[in-house]
Amino acid sequence: RILALSQFRRAVNTNETIPDSLFSAVKQLPEGADIEPLLRRFQEGIDTEADRQMLFTALARAEDRYFLRLRAEEERRYRRLFLWLLLLGIGTLGGVSVGFFLLYRQYRTEVSTYEASLEVLQKWRQGEWQTPVPEDAAGAGVLTSLRSVWQGIDTFLKALAEGKFNFSLPSEDHPILERIAQFRQSLQQRWDMQSEQALTLRSLAAFSEILKESQTISSLAERTIVLLCRELKAHMGALFVREDSTLTLVGTYAYDLSQATQRRFRLGEGFVGQAAAEKRLLRIHPVPPGYLKLRSGLGEATPHTLLLIPLIFQDEAYGVVELASLEAFSPSAEPFLQKIGEHIGAALANFISREKLAALLSEEQALRKTLEEKQAELLRSAQLMEEAQQKLIESQRQLASQISAIRSAALVVELSADGTILFANEAFLSAGGFSPAELRERSFLRLISDPTAASSLEEALAQRTIWQGSLPISTPVGETLWLQATFAPMEGTHPSSYIGICFNITREKAQEEELRRMLEQTLLQEERLRETNQRLQSLNEELLHTQTELKGQIAAVGNAAIVSETDLQGRIIRVNELFLEMYGYRAEEVLGQNHRILKSGHQSDEVFEEMWRTISQGRVWRGEVRNRAKNGQYYWIWLTITPVLSPEGKVLKYIGVGFDITAQKRQEEELRSALELSQAQQRELRIYTQQLQAAQEEMRRTQVELRGQISAVNNAAIVAETDPEGRITFVNEAFCAISGYSREELLGQTHAILRSDRHDEAFFKELWKTITEKQVWKGIFCNKRKDGTLYWIASTITPVLDTRGRLVKYIAVSFDLTAQIQQEEQLRAYAEELRRAQAELRGQIMAVGNAAYLMETDLQGNLLYANSAALEAWGYQWEEVAGQNLRFLQSGHHPPEFWAEMWNTILQGRVWQAEVLNKSRKGDLFWQLLTITPIRDPEGAIFKFIGVAFDITAQKRQAERIRQLLQEAQEKERSLSAYAKQLEEIQSQLLETQLELTGRINALNNAAIVSETDPEGRITFVNEEATYVWGYTKEELIGQPHSIIRSEAHPPKFFERMWDRIKSGFVWQGEVQNKAKDGTTFWVYLTITPVLDTTGKPYKYIGVAFDITRQKVQAQRLREALRQLEQGGKAYGEHFDTLPWFLTDKQAIIQAASPALLQMLGYTPENFIGRSARILRSERTSPQTFMDMWSVIGRGRPWHGFITNKDARGEEQLYFLSIFPHGDYYLAVLLPAADACDLLKADWLKNYVPLDLLHEYELRLQSKDYEIRELRRIIQSLQG
């Protein structure tokens, strides 16, 4: 027997498998009957800590009884020995007396040891564990071991009740004490994990506030390092921020700056740079003596541990945090720092990007200013060149040949002072259809059909001034010839005559008139389109207003109900946020999926066949559906499916509006505060993440723009960057091209590699003095290329500073001036030669020069002569163009075939005339009517060409302007047509949207009670469902206050809080009891959504309500059944049978069950009563739930909670279970989730966490006192 007890106790302590023979041996003991229930529960694996305590108590009692039996057996043995000796020792009385005395003393010694043991056990039973075991007590070693075990159990239970995990256990080597130590370690780890999560959430919330309030990196760094030191109890901290490849100290906490020998680190330099380079956390322990001291006013000490954490965002280190502590950091510190380090890194990346953006913008402004200054310098140089041109061009050569060329190229006429025609060339006669006889001695003024132009020309002839303008000339055939004419007085041989240079613009005038007519037609059409546009805009505004109203209603639905849309095959095409939140899916996981992914299998296929048959016929379907979320949890919803019909009556899609009827009471109070805090912080983190994403998107867009601007600068200028020591760190392609060096040859070198001998040392000293004082330097360099040739550049050197004003680098932007310098040298070379030119026939030159551009070229097209008018139009000085080929005037407008035809004509000795588009030095384009005349020598060979050009830019521009106006009008016409078409498409889309929104509203009206009120609470709209439930007509409700349906179930404070919330623009939700017109009351779950105007104030309220009267009635019926249950008697028997309950003994063997339970689970009394309650257990309910349940009811306290059970068919379902201990039995009440307790289970469904006490449950339902009272009455009734 002793061996059996010892083996069994060892197996219990070590959780070893106990053979049936050992169970039989223990049961056969006299004590086996008392501990048989505990043995059976241990054998079935449903024992709890209370069972283990009872088992140890029973074992102690068994040992006590064993010692008592042993004592009694010894007493009987000694009595028999005494009688035997008395019978045998009659003859030897003296000797027997002595022996008897010795034996009696031994007997008393043994009895005293057993009594001492019993006394110790009795005191231990009373809780006096400190009572020592006497040395002479029987079984002193065993008792000492038991004392240590019981002391450990008592210490563990006391520490657990006080919530402490730091307690010491006896040093006894015992399996039970080892199990207690393991349990304590498990609880400590779980507590540390929860503390770590709370620390992370709290710190993220605080960092979010810091991020909102910080404007600069230094402010963010200072406040962040203070937060980290405070949360981790660090005694010193520093935050380094990355600038390019350098980490700079920005934020400190209790940091002694005098100890920091270096406050800047490159990547890979020191522990700080290495942590950033490796992108991993570094722990330094122990800290070497003298490495760092933590100082205060009283002394200093070496830190225990250093932590260096890189701040990583998108796989890039943006900073490093260094923390020091006099104590070891907690184990949760490193995971916490790695989590929050990502958020700090993202914030630093955002701030660094902003500062880089500001620096780049400042740099771009400086470059732009430099370009403007350079442009001004170039303009001044051009003006100086033009002045030199006017001084140098004083004479021309060979005027006779030039005049001949002019007469053959243009319409030339010579007039006397009174306007009489003295001469007209062949071009003039041919253009007007005149004969020489018709014009001889005839007044030119009479040929002009416009009197105003004729009088103006006559006045100019009288005053001997130059006249320019358009003249309409009447021809002999009755047509009008338009001429663009210039008349100038001639000096010299004919002082009273005038020469007129004209060209034919009749075709341009005709085109101008035609374009003007088309422009007027276009403007008229534009006016008609504008009127059509105004009508479409008016219609668009009406549709937008309707769309806004419908969106407001849809928003109200989205706040109150679970909405989903499917196509005709049942594939999901749209869900709202409540749908995703309830079922745990993301939008991309459900869109395009069939609605069967939510099917729980609880309902038969006939239900869904009837549903599809109904909605496919275009009718509304309503019913209760049990769906399954992504994580396997089940939800009951009241679902209304409404088909959306096209104007032809065809079903387009289906809209489902559901209401969660699983209620809102699922979680325990211990998790409520943490969950609410977590949700609030997650929302803040989502907002912060969205802000970061928006900032990153803005940063990317700005970077793209800056790259474009920098690329433009790189393409237009010569750009180089150097470090503060003058070493080249960057050059663009233009720099490499002009210097002749490759980028690899330049990087790392100083600019001295390009230095020429044109500048002395004082020049460079002044340059370095300027830029080291952080000022911009501007000047002109003469540098030397790699091949030894020189080039000139105008350079601007700008110092670049960091956020603390320290010099980081220099940026030099330069422009090539080599061509300008060479041109200036050429001008100076040609100046002397041009000054020696003599004037020939200045009067005629001036007359012709005012009217035309004259030029002479050799046979290769090289310029030999150009008059002042031509040079002025071109923008060049004579020294710049003398000897140059006239190709420098080509604009690229004409194809090569154009110029080939010109050269072919003039080389054959024929005159060539055409309109040519040339380009001036400034890049301006101008049109000329050019005539080129070949000049022959006396032998008849061509030795040069004379070109006469007339500026027709104004006429071309006018024609082009008219053409542009016509094109713009046509473009406007096309734009307005496209806009009208776009408005029609928008109108069509709005109509489709309106149809879709109308379908959603119809679905909502079929599923819920919808009403709208103005800001004063007067009803402005109700749907059909509202009039049906309330019992009023629409005419009776419109204009009435919403209190017309108010019942007396709620106090005034209830509605005051509701109005305060919705007037503040927030959504309100809650259960409300209303009263219909006939006086009947009904319950609704109401959601009120404020609709805000542009100022953010509510201008109406939309209420969406779902009828929950049926659930409330079920709860009332349950309370009524319990009330009748309390009355006993006949009613007791009737209603007790309707309640689903069963009765078990303490071994979980079912002793009795109600008919309602048997019917609900599908069992019969024969196959249910007498079996273990384990037949109801489902694998979906965790073993921890049953251990907690047995722990509670083992202490004689009721247990309530939600578990998943199996019925006789093997189907699993969620039930609400209440167990009430009573004597040697347990009364269990099993309610299905669809019953009235459905209102109380919402907070428990997510985690299946059981409710332990009614007091704990009251803490979870502080805002729902009436439900607490109902639950208390139900539990009291069940306990009765």
| 1215-1271 pLDDT, tens digit each | 878 888 877 888 888 887 654 344 343 333 333 333 333 334 444 444 344 444 555
Output the six-digit token pair for 945.
């060409």
Q: Is residue 701 part of a domain?
A: no
Domain edge (last residue) among 822, 837, 871: 822
Please give the tally of structural domains in the chain. Answer: 9
Q: What is the mean pLDDT of residues 432-456?
A: 84
CB atoms within 10 A of CB 334: 15
Structural domain includes residue 760: yes
Alpha helices (H) in 561-629, listed in sequence order: 577-583, 587-590, 605-616
Residue 751, in any domain of the structure: yes
13: closest CA among 167, 168, 205, 152? Answer: 152
Q: Please, are residues 467 and 460 in contact by the beta-carbon 8 Å criterion? A: yes
In a domain, 48, yes or no: yes
801 and 919 part of one domain: no
Residue 699 is predicted with a pLDDT of 56
Q: pLDDT tens-digit profile of 611-659? A: 888 888 888 888 888 888 888 887 777 788 888 887 777 888 888 887 7
Task: Tell the residue number behind the tokens 């745990």, with chain if given.
Answer: 584
Q: Is residue 565 located within the same domain as residue 552?
A: no
Examine residue 669 and state whether it is found in any structural domain, yes or no: no
1038: confidence class by pLDDT, cuts 50, 70, 90: very high
Give first-to-last CA distance, the chain, whole Å. Answer: 45
Residue 948: beta bridge partners? 854, 931
Q: Which residues of 1004-1031 are buried (b: 16+ CB within 10 A; e: fewer)?
A: bbbbbbbbbbeeeeebeebbebbbebbe
- pLDDT (average), residues 529-552: 64
The answer to the question of residue 829 being in a domain is no
797 in the same domain as 747: yes
What are the backbone angles phi and psi of residue 940, rounded to the nearest 5°?
Answer: 90, 5
Residues 6+ apart with CB under 8 A from 840: 395, 396, 397, 398, 399
Same domain, 947 and 965: no
- Helix H segments across 1217-1264? 1254-1260
Query: Quick one: DSSP state of residue 397?
Result: S
Confidence of residue 799 (pLDDT cuts 50, 70, 90): confident
Q: pLDDT: is 183 or 590 the higher one?
A: 590
Q: CA separation (Å) from 7 to 21, 138, 178, 885?
A: 11, 21, 18, 120
Same domain, 424 and 536: no
Six token digits for residue 1003: 């679905």
Please answer whether residues 975 and 1058 qualify as being in contact, where contact means their C-beta atoms are separated by less than 8 angstroms.
Answer: no
Contacts of 380 (CB under 8 A, 6+ apart): none
pLDDT top residue among 93 and 1246: 93
- Burial code of 757-780, b = ≥16 C-beta within 10 A, e = fewer? eeeeeeeeeebeebbeeeeebeee
CA distances from 1067 to 558, 629, 821, 1101 (A): 11, 26, 76, 10
Question: Structural domain of residue 874, as residue ranges?
Answer: 852-951
pLDDT tens track for 400-435: 555 555 555 567 888 888 888 888 888 788 888 888
> Band of the pLDDT at 228, cuts 50, 70, 90?
confident
* Range in 57-61, 606-610, 1233-1237 the model is least confident about: 1233-1237
**CATH number of the domain bearing residue 1083:** 3.30.450.20
Are 20 and 155 in a shared domain?
yes
Mean of pLDDT values over 786-809:
83
Asked whether the beta carbons of 1140 and 1231 are under 8 A apart, the reply is yes
**Residue bearing tokens 């980490």:** 247
Angle, helix 669-716 to helix 333-392, in steps of 10 degrees: 20
| pLDDT tens, residue by residue, 345-387 | 888 887 777 777 677 677 767 777 776 776 677 677 667 766 6
Which one of 492, 522, 543 terminates a domain? 492
What is the per-residue pLDDT for 1235?
A: 45
Exposed e or buried b per residue across 990-999, where buried means at least 16 C-beta atoms within 10 angstroms of its C-beta:
beebeebbeb
- Alpha-carbon distance of 828 to 822, in angstroms, equals 10
Same structural domain, 1121 and 1084: no
Residues 477 and 511 occupy one common structural domain: no
Q: Which residues contact 1011 (CB under 8 A, 6 or more apart)?
A: 1019, 1021, 1022, 1023, 1026, 1042, 1102, 1103, 1105
Where b means 16+ CB within 10 Å and e means fewer, 224-248 reads bbbbbbebbebbbbbbbbbbeebbb
| Torsional class of 1248: left (φ above 0), alpha (ψ -120 to 50), beta (otherwise) | left
550 and 565 co-located in one domain? no
Helices 140-162 and 93-125 sit at what angle, rounded to 10 degrees? 10
Give tens-digit pLDDT for 96-139. Answer: 777 777 877 777 777 777 777 777 777 766 666 666 766 666 56
User: Nearest 5°: CA angle at 1248, between 1245 and 1253?
Assistant: 105
- Distance between CA 237 and CA 246 in Å, rounded? 19
| Pair (1100, 1173) in one structural domain | no
724 C-beta neighbours (distance < 10 Å), count: 14
Share of the chain above pLDDT 90, in %: 4
* Residue closest to 1105 by CA, chosen among 1139, 1057, 1073, 1128: 1073
pLDDT, tens digit, 9 for 90 and up, residues 996-1028: 656 656 655 666 788 999 999 999 998 888 888
Of 466, 492, 518, which one is at a domain's C-terminal end? 492
Q: In the structure encoding, which two tokens stand for residue 723, read together?
A: 């470090």
Residues 1071 and 1108: their CA atoms lie apart, in Å, by: 9
- Does a structural domain hold residue 91? yes
**Cis omega (within 30 of 0) on the bond before 286?**
yes
What are φ and ψ of residue 946, in 5° steps? Answer: -115, 125
Asked if residues 915 and 952 have their Cβ atoms less than 8 Å apart, the reply is yes
**What's the pLDDT score for residue 1014?**
93
375 falls within a domain: no
CA distance 684 to 608: 41
Q: Between these two residues, 335 and 1021, which has the higher pLDDT value?
A: 1021
Length reported for the chain = 1280
Identify whether residues 945 and 805 lie together within a single domain: no
Question: 282-284 and 411-415 as β-strands: parallel, antiparallel, unpaired?
Answer: unpaired
Q: Do 981 and 1069 belong together in one domain?
A: no
